[in-house]
Amino acid sequence: MPANPTPLVNGEKANRREQIMAAAAELFAHHGFHGVGIDDIGAAVGISGPALYRHFRSKDAILGEMLNSISRYLLDGGTARASQRDEPGEVLEALVDFHVGFALTHPALITVQERNLANLTDSDRKQVRALQRQYVEVWVRAISDAVPGIGERQARSAAHAVFGLINSTPYNRHLGDSELAEMLCRLALGALHSAK
């Protein structure tokens, strides 16, 4: 790398931030948040550790943006899918398919989210929790509409149970992605429809 690299333009800078977060997610998933240093993240993206401070103020900031970003992505994606369909069963299928797809293509992020909420700053943790609660409510409405007679508390519990099933994918790599996706969708929908 040259001694004085050309500063990244806005689009490139955003892309570099995404590269840093993706590398950090893999490292945090495999070594834990406290087992990874700034130098490790820098090395994974081909820059020095101190050069990361041009993009993020700290390792905590990387984790905060990472978990806020995925929580926002899930909420926006879930909300969009719920609003694009009229039939309750189709809404539920679309939500399950969306979450399964995310879990299979981003296993490191699923692992980091599951293990590192406690490592967030208070303000980031509040933001992430608020986004997660809104995402759960998208599911609660869809489950309530698709499963006749289910109560709100049952629907909320069912949503969390299905998240646990789907989010187990980082630990379940016995099948190929398409076969696993099909099985997870079938299991999740079966569980949701029998939740009452």
Split the chain (196 residues) into runs of 10 and give each run's mean pLDDT.
Answer: 34 75 95 95 91 92 96 97 93 97 92 92 96 98 96 96 90 81 94 89
Residue with tokens 């240093």: 37
Alpha helices in 32-121 (DSSP H): 38-45, 59-83, 88-105, 107-116
pLDDT at residue 4, rounded to an integer: 33
- Give the span between the Cα atoms of 173 and 134, in whole angstroms: 30
Instruction: Kindly report, residue by residue over 2-16, the tens digit of the pLDDT.
Output: 333 333 334 455 588
pLDDT at residue 1, rounded to an integer: 29
Write out the residue limits of the CATH 1.10.10.60 domain(s) in the chain: 1-56
- According to the CATH classification, is domain 59-193 in 1.10.260.40? no
pLDDT at residue 188, rounded to an integer: 95
Distances (CA, A) of 58 to 8, 14, 15, 62, 113: 19, 17, 18, 7, 18
pLDDT at residue 14, rounded to an integer: 57
Phi then psi for residue 150, to 5 deg, are -75, 140
Contact 134, 77 (CB under 8 A): no
pLDDT at residue 177, rounded to an integer: 84
pLDDT at residue 50, rounded to an integer: 87
pLDDT at residue 149, rounded to an integer: 93
Contact 93, 102 (CB under 8 A): no
93 token code pair: 């299928």
Name the superfamily (CATH) of residues 1-56: Homeodomain-like (1.10.10.60)
62 token code pair: 């990387």
Read off the DSSP letter of residue 120: S
Cβ neighbours of residue 151 under 8 Å, at least 6 residues apart? none
Distances (CA, A) of 158 to 7, 165, 189: 49, 11, 10
pLDDT at residue 86, rounded to an integer: 85
